[in-house]
Amino acid sequence: MEAYLVETVTKIAEFLKSKGYGLSIADSFTGGLISHIFTNVHDARTFVDLSVICYSKSSKINVLGISASFLEKKGMISEETAVAMANAIRRLGNSHVGLAITGNAGPDIIEDKSAGLVYMAVSIAPNNRVLSAGDKFEGNTETIKNEASIETLRFLCRALRLCT
C-alpha cells in the first residue's frame, strides 16, 4: 500500500479502536477491495463488524433491506442509494459507522451512468449523521476500482473528522 493510504487507514483504524466503534461496509463497486484494505490492519476484527458485497439489485433488497420501489425510483447507481446502503449496513452490522459505495466500474454504460461514476456515503451513529459524495474516475475497470477505493477511504477519514 502507498504510504498516504497506510496513514489514512491507520488513522481510521486507531480512531475506531480507541472509541470502541465498529465499521460495517456495503460494497456495490470494488468487489471487496475496501474491506480487504481494512482487514490488512492488525486487529481488524476489533473494529470491522460486517462487510457485504452487494452488486445485484436482489442483494440490496434481500440483504440490506432497501425497497425495490426505492431502487426503481432512484436507481442502483445514485447518491440516494449510497446513503440508503450506508444506513442499512450500519443497522445490519449494529455498528457505529456504515460505509457504502456504488457506481459503474465500466466498461459499459449502466442506468445511463458512464463508467467511472461513483457514489459513496457514510452513516455515523448515534446522531445518524450522514455524508455523501459523488466522483468520477477515468481508466480501465481495475484503475477505476482502485482510485475509487482510495477516495472512499479518504472520504471516510474526512467524515470522521480525522483528515482534512
69-92 average pLDDT score: 97
For residue 19, the tally of other CB atoms under 10 A from its CB is: 12
**pLDDT at residue 1 is higher than 60:** no
**% the chain with pLDDT above 90:** 86
CATH of the domain at 112: 3.90.950.20
Q: Average pLDDT of 112-138?
A: 94
Kindly state whether residue 102 falls inside one of the protein's structural domains.
yes
**Model pTM score:** 0.95
Q: Does pLDDT of 78 surpass 90?
A: yes
- Which stretches does DSSP call E strand in the chain? 23-28, 48-53, 97-103, 117-124, 129-136
pLDDT in tens, 18-72: 999 999 999 999 999 999 999 999 899 999 999 999 999 999 999 999 999 999 9
| Amino acid in the structure at residue 36 | H
Number of domain units in the chain? 1
C-alpha grid cell for residue 100? Answer: 457504502
pLDDT at 3 over 80: no
Indicate the Cα dihedral angle 147, 151, 154, 156, nearest 10°: -130
Give tens-digit pLDDT for 97-117: 999 999 998 888 888 999 999
Q: Which residues span the domain enclosing 115?
A: 3-159
Q: In the predicted model, what is the mean pLDDT of the chain?
A: 94
Which pLDDT score, from 0 to 100, does residue 27 have?
A: 98
The rounded distance, in Å, linking the Cα atoms of 142 and 29 is 11
CB 105 within 8 A of CB 137: no
Q: Is 124 contained in some domain?
A: yes
Q: What is the mean pLDDT of residues 121-132?
A: 93
Between 32 and 1, where is the model more confident? Answer: 32
Half-sphere exposure of 57 (CA within 13 A, CB side): 14
pLDDT score of 161? 93
Q: Is residue 164 a part of any domain in this protein?
A: no
Residue 95 has pLDDT above 90, yes or no: yes
